[in-house]
Amino acid sequence: MKLTTAGESHGKALIGIIEGLPSNLKIDIDEINKYLSLRQSGYGRGGRQKIERDSVEIISGVRNLVTLGSPLSFAIINKDYDNWREYMAPEGCDVNAKKLTKVRPGHADLTGLIKYGQTDARNILERASARETAARVAAGTVARQYLRNLGVEISGYVSGVCGERDENEYNFEDTLRSKEQPLFMLNAEVQKRAIRKIDELKENGDTAGGVIEIRVKGLKSGFGSCMRYCEKLDASLCSAVMSVQAIKGVEVGYGFMSAYLSGSEAHDEIFFDDGKYFRKTNKAGGIEGGMSNGGEIVLRAAMKPIPTLMKGLNTIDYSTNLPAVASNERSDVCAICAAEIILESVVAFALAETVSLRLGGDNMREVIERYSALKG
């Protein structure tokens, strides 16, 4: 299974092509639109989300809500394109009016300008923008529907925002109610403090990041590889998470904390009863030796604060190399809820890739039969 995305933030549309889906997978378009709308939600989002009402249009690969086995392509139309047509149209436009040269620290602007031989950072930021992730959420929801046929579910929540941390542990079912909360947090007190922090930052023209925890429930053991490093499950899931805009760190299970523990404290002891192997703890986060071990997969990711600050950081003007204040027009203060939905989606897609690599299957019945035949 493979995903290609295309599209600029203020261009006509975001496009996705998924190759390698089996036939006879039922597609729930309402669910895709539900996740697209969740990606736009959350406390701290900016003006752009008042313009967009993302919804998916499937172009190919599906007939009467069922996949054909051919590439599934889709589009998410940018409503803001109507305001940007005269500056963005591929057919011809004014490329000077929206020129951006006061490059933003932390954004792709400066390095992209140099690498791609441009003089206008607009030609960089339009694609580097996190707007692209709408396509990954649509594709990730299709992957979620594929995995659900095997009894695999993905969830998550926000465990921290700009220094306000929720240190509690939650079970999978608890995490399912995160989307009812304004910051997708499960601890009301911490969330209240986080909202106050976002308000303060907004007042000061500043931004916030946070921490997200993603869970995968119901995956049988043996997905991934201990034989080929490029197929290690932890490597592919972490790579998917790190590929999301603004993610600067990711860990599996106890992750960085395990470095501070002894071996006897850091590992999950193994038991056997009633014909089954089991562990009483899950410090490994469901992955040992690069393979799923049948336990819940637990990933944690750190999102940096958004690099477009209304107050602007010190930088240079690329057209003169003189000191300047970084450009801004509008910005999200905190997009942690968007990132949470995006991470669930990219994890779903990476997992579906791993599952289909092992199971193959041209149609959904073959996939389900092969998965059912596995021990677990």
Binding site for ligand EPS (CB under 6 A): 9, 46, 48, 52, 125, 129-131, 134, 308, 330, 332, 338
Nearer to ligand EPS, 88 or 130 (CB): 130
Nearer to ligand EPS, 1 or 14 (CB): 14
DSSP state of 166: -
- Report which of 243, 224, 219, 248 is spatially closest to residue 234, judged by C-alpha positions: 224
CB 218 within 8 A of CB 191: no
CB 44 within 8 A of CB 198: yes
Q: What minimum distance in Å lies between the beta carbon of 75 and ligand EPS?
A: 15
Q: Three-state DSSP class for 233?
A: helix
Per the DSSP assignment, residues forming a β-bridge with 154 are: 216
Nearer to ligand EPS, 216 or 333 (CB): 333
Q: What minimum distance in Å lies between the beta carbon of 45 and ligand EPS?
A: 7
Q: What minimum distance in Å lies between the beta carbon of 235 and ligand EPS?
A: 26
Tally Cβ neighbours within 10 Å of residue 12: 16
CA gap 361, 317 in Å, rounded:
54
Q: What minimum distance in Å lies between the beta carbon of 340 and ligand EPS?
A: 13
Please count the residues of the chain.
Answer: 376
Within 8 A by CB and 6+ apart from 306, the residues are 207, 208, 209, 246, 331, 332, 333, 334, 335
Q: What minimum distance in Å lies between the beta carbon of 86 and ligand EPS?
A: 16
Nearer to ligand EPS, 54 or 213 (CB): 54
Q: What minimum distance in Å lies between the beta carbon of 54 and ligand EPS?
A: 7
Nearer to ligand EPS, 134 or 154 (CB): 134
CA gap 38, 263 in Å, rounded:
40
Nearer to ligand EPS, 104 or 215 (CB): 104
DSSP 338-350: HHHHHHHHHHHHH
CA gap 346, 251 in Å, rounded:
15
Q: What minimum distance in Å lies between the beta carbon of 310 and ligand EPS?
A: 11
Q: What minimum distance in Å lies between the beta carbon of 347 and ligand EPS?
A: 18
Nearer to ligand EPS, 25 or 134 (CB): 134
CA gap 204, 309 in Å, rounded:
9
CB 107 within 8 A of CB 40: no
Nearer to ligand EPS, 69 or 182 (CB): 182
